[in-house]
Structure formats: C-alpha cells, structure tokens
Amino acid sequence: MRQTAIIAIMLLTACATSGSSTALPAKAEAAPAAAAPAAAPSAGAVSVEFASPEATKAGGVVTETKYSERAGDVEITKKEFAGGVVTLTGQVGMGKGSSYFGIGINFPIHADGKPIDGRAYKTVTFQVASTTARALRLRVSGADEKVRNSGCYPVYVQEVTKEVKAYTIPLSKFASESWCAANSKSVDSTLTELYGFEVADTTASKGPTVMSVGTITLNP
C-alpha cells in the first residue's frame, strides 16, 4: 500500500514537470514615454550693418525715402559714410505747402530681400542721431512691397540727440500710423515676414537737416 502511494506520487510529479504547460506571461514593460518635441533653438541677434550709403554689409541695397504732399518740398543733398554710420543731409519742408513729408533711408535684412520670421525677437536696437530733428521715425517693414510703398507698416517715433546713440525699443510698441486705417499692418503680422527697416526725418526744417543711422539689431 505504501509502495502504491509512492508510485502514485512519482507519477503525479512526472506529469507536472514533463507535461506541456503554459508559462505565465512576463510582466509587460512600460512603453518608453514619447520624446517631447525638441525646443526650437532660440534665435540669436540679427544685425544690419552698413558698408556704404548705398549698401549694407550683407549686400542689401540702401534706398532713399523721399516724399511730400506737394512736389519739390523735400530734398536729399548729400550722403556720407564713416565708422559704420550713414549720414544724410537734406531739407524737409521747403515752403511748397505740404502737410506731410519725410526723408530717410530704407534697407532689407538680406541682400536678396528675402524676409525672415521675426516672431522670436522681442526688441530692436537702432543707432541713430540728428543734429537738427528732435525725433526720427523708425519703421519695421514687411515683405509686401505695396504696403511698404504706402507707408503702412508699423512705426515708432524715437527722440534723439546730436550724437549717435543706441535705443532699444520693444517691438510691441510699433504700430501703423492712424491714417492707414484699413491698410494698417500689425507688428505681429509684420514680424511673420520681416523684410527690413526704415529711418526717416519727418520734421519740417527751415534749413538743412542732418540725420545719421548706424547698426540696427533684432534682439531675442
């Protein structure tokens, strides 16, 4: 009887070890967390420097801003360059009866005029001066040439001194002039396709006026 019990136990043990059995599934490993999107690299400062009164160091063409309500009410008589600074001499308002007028320069960031996405930038630094005007009009210009020619990209009026100084201005302070009405361009929409800059003297002068423009820098 004892021998029979031992044989039965041995048979049960053999079945348990030699029979095909389904192993318990291994515990599934947690899937690795999805990688967070790579942060966009922070934009570095972008500067526009001058090589002459007609060109930037990048090869962009510097063109004149010269307009008045009535013909013959403004003039640019001389353009000079020294130490990275372009200096214009001219006259604004010459007794023709214009109610608006201006002289200055405008220029692209890139030589080919291709716009950049400027939304990463928070401020812009202008190096400017005038020996006669108390303030200069600064503009950020977008890619639409028609809007640039109409003067409806955002501006900021900066008080200046006779010596060239750097003025850092939040881009949020730039706004289209009120007369643009429906043609106004916001600074946010301008920055999506930022073409370049303009600096102009719009103050009537009884005689020659002188303005200077140095490096312009976009700051993150």
> Domain range holding 188?
61-219
The proportion of the chain whose per-residue pLDDT surpasses 90, expressed as a percent, equals: 79
Quick one: pLDDT at residue 36?
Answer: 39
CATH code for the domain of 199: 2.60.120
User: Is there a domain that residue 7 lies in?
Assistant: no
Of residues 187 and 9, more confidently modeled: 187
- Judge whether residue 184 has pLDDT over 50: yes
For residue 9, tell me if it sits in a domain. no
Q: Residue 33: pLDDT above 70?
A: no
pLDDT score recorded for residue 42: 53
**155 vs 206 pLDDT, higher one:** 155
What b/e sequence results for 17-26 when a residue is b if at least 16 CB atoms lie within 10 Å of its CB, and e otherwise? Answer: eeeeeeeeee
pLDDT tens digits, one per residue of 99-151: 999 999 999 999 999 999 999 999 999 999 999 999 999 999 999 999 999 99
Whether residue 16 is contained in a domain is answered as no
- pLDDT of 43 reads 67
In tens, the pLDDT along 63-81 reads: 999 999 999 999 999 999 9
Assigned domain for 55 exists? no
Does residue 91 lie in a domain region? yes
The whole-number pLDDT of residue 119 equals 96
pTM: 0.79
pLDDT beyond 60 at 10? no
**Least confident window among 30-39, 89-98, 171-180:** 30-39
Question: How high is the mean pLDDT of the chain?
Answer: 86
What is the number of structural domains in the chain?
A: 1
Here the tokens at position 182 are 């429906």
For residue range 157-175, list pLDDT tens digits in order. Answer: 999 999 999 999 999 999 9
The answer as to whether 104 is a domain residue is yes
Q: Is the pLDDT of residue 19 over 50?
A: no
Structural domain contains residue 23: no
- Kindly state whether residue 56 falls inside one of the protein's structural domains: no
